Amino acid sequence: MSVEALSIVLNHSRAKGASKLVLIGIANHLGPDADEGAWPSQARLAGYANISDRAVRDAISNLVSLGELEVAQAAGQSQSQYKPNRYWLKLRCPDTCDRSLNHNRVEVFVRESGTFEQTGWKPASDKPLTNHKKTRDRQLPEDWNPTQELLEMFKTKWPDLDPTYNIEQFKLYYWSKGTKHKDWSLTFQRWMNQEQQRAKAQPWKFGAVGSASAQAKKESERKHSDDYLKQMAELKAQAAPPPKCPHGNMLLLCKICLD
């Protein structure tokens, strides 16, 4: 195993995912002589990366295209008649590396500008810092109540709605559903806007108990009911009494006459 080869792969390889795992596996088999190369089998490399043999071949092709690996088909050593491939690591330390075991980055002198270019970090942006924290959705809190501004809207935007009834219905609905929203004040306004539209169409429903139209409907129902009862009483008074038999009983109910 070549510790230097492993360190170069870990610090300088551009490969990602399974390709880098395969390259680490190959570097693990390299010896002190870099020209000798390494010849691990595809099955062993597949075991290192937990992938299939076909995925190993795809990874090797990717490493060759990146210029980080050289392959010689069936050039490895084996007692079997099927020879493994031989691999050579083509990675080298860049100019920004101090070539230590830790492969630290260093300043590079730029000849054109006569300055040193610091590597391993990005210059600060000229753009002002902004708060990227996003408001998360949350369930309706148990202690939630509409603000005074929202309560005033029952006089201006939702005059046909009963505040107590509709606020209670709003809370019970979302507490039972467990729905999450970012802004519960906006959700409340949207709910009440819809209820106001329904209240105009059917004022005796949707908690519009205090509206003028609802009172008018109730008064009409009461008036029709009183008129009906009065009419029935008049008909009962005008109706002729049922005939009676000589015994003073109703003709159809007298047992003596029926016998």
This prediction has a pTM of 0.41
- Per-residue pLDDT, 131: 53
Across 134-144, average pLDDT: 86
Phi, psi of 87 (to 5 degrees): -125, 140
- What's the topology of domain 3-89? Arc Repressor Mutant, subunit A (1.10.10)
Arithmetic mean of pLDDT over the chain: 78
Q: In terms of C-beta density within 10 A (0-12 exposed, 13-18 middle, 19 or more buried), how is residue 85 classed?
A: buried
Is residue 95 predicted with pLDDT exceeding 80?
no
> Using one digit for the tens of pLDDT, what is the confidence trace for 160-195?
888 998 999 999 999 998 889 999 999 999 999 998
In this prediction, residue 121 has a pLDDT band, given cuts at 50, 70 and 90, of: very low
- Report the range of poorest mean pLDDT among 49-53, 104-108, 142-146: 104-108
Is residue 4 predicted with pLDDT exceeding 50?
yes
Task: List the alpha helices (DSSP H) in the chain.
Answer: 3-12, 17-29, 42-49, 53-65, 148-156, 163-177, 184-201, 212-238, 255-258
Across 69-97, average pLDDT: 78
**Helices (runs of H) and strands (runs of E) counted in the chain:** 9, 6
- Per-residue pLDDT, 189: 94
Q: Provide the residue ranges of all domains of the chain, joining segments of one domain with +.
A: 3-89, 142-201, 227-259
Give yes or no for a contact between 29 and 38, defined as CB atoms under 8 angstroms apart.
yes
- Per-residue pLDDT, 183: 92
Contacts of 22 (CB under 8 A, 6+ apart): 45, 48, 49, 56, 59, 60, 63
Neighbours of 47 (CB within 10 A): 13
Query: What is the crossing angle of helices 17-29 and 42-49, to 10°?
Result: 130
> Using one digit for the tens of pLDDT, what is the confidence trace for 233-253?
888 777 777 778 888 787 777
